[in-house]
Structure formats: structure tokens, C-alpha cells
Amino acid sequence: MTPDPLDELRDRLRDTRQAAERLAGSVPPQGWATPQDADETQREAQALLALLQGLRDLVPPELQEQLREVVRQVLLLVRAVVDWWVERLEPGQAPGSPAEPAFEDIPVEP
């Protein structure tokens, strides 16, 4: 006699439920979250921001503007490099080729 597929499914569900019940006691009430790590990370980020603010206050406004412009230029360069790589990685397109396909008019005779 062949085993009933529903009985096999019931057995699997029972085994899965029992395994889940065994594991339920090992998970902390708040999951695996560690709030002390989050608090420490937040304190470190605040300290870094305070340090950057202090350094910014030491720099004259003219130099701040120049630094802002340098950062802007670097970001534009990074954007251009990323665009170039994306263009090269797109399937079916050769570098520098137009994005639109070329069309050819076919004369239709009545």
C-alpha cells in the first residue's frame, strides 16, 4: 500500500511545528537586536559630526566655498564615470552609440 500524500504533509507540518516550538525558547524577547550597540553607534556619529562642525568653524568662509566647489566637481566626476560604465554595460549597445535605434525608410508602392 502506498503512503497517502496528505499523511506525509501532516507529518512534515507536525515536525516543522515542533522544531519551531523548540527554537522559540532560544530567541530573546526583542529578537537578536542589541540596543547598546545602536546607542554606541549613535554616540560615535554625533561625536564625528561635532568634530566636523568644529573643523568647519575653523576654516574661513572663502576656503569653505572652495572646498564645496571641489566636492561638487568630484561628485560630478564620479557621476560621469558611473554613467560611462553603465553605458558600456548595457547589452546590445556599443560605447558612444546613440541610445535610439537607427530607422530606415522603406518606400511603399501603391
Nine-digit cell at 49? 559630526
> What's the DSSP call for residue 2?
P
In this predicted structure, the answer to whether residue 26 has a pLDDT above a threshold of 70 is: no
The domain locations on the chain are 60-89
pTM here is 0.39
For the chain, percent of residues with pLDDT exceeding 90: 20
| Residue-wise pLDDT tens digits, 29-70 | 666 666 666 677 888 889 999 988 888 888 888 998 998 999
Evaluate whether 95 touches 87 at the Cβ level (below 8 Å).
yes
Per-residue confidence (pLDDT) for residue 101, from 0 to 100 = 62
Roughly how many angstroms between the first and final C-alpha of the chain, as a whole number? 75
Nine-digit cell at 23? 527554537
Q: Which helix (H) or strand (E) holds 105?
A: none
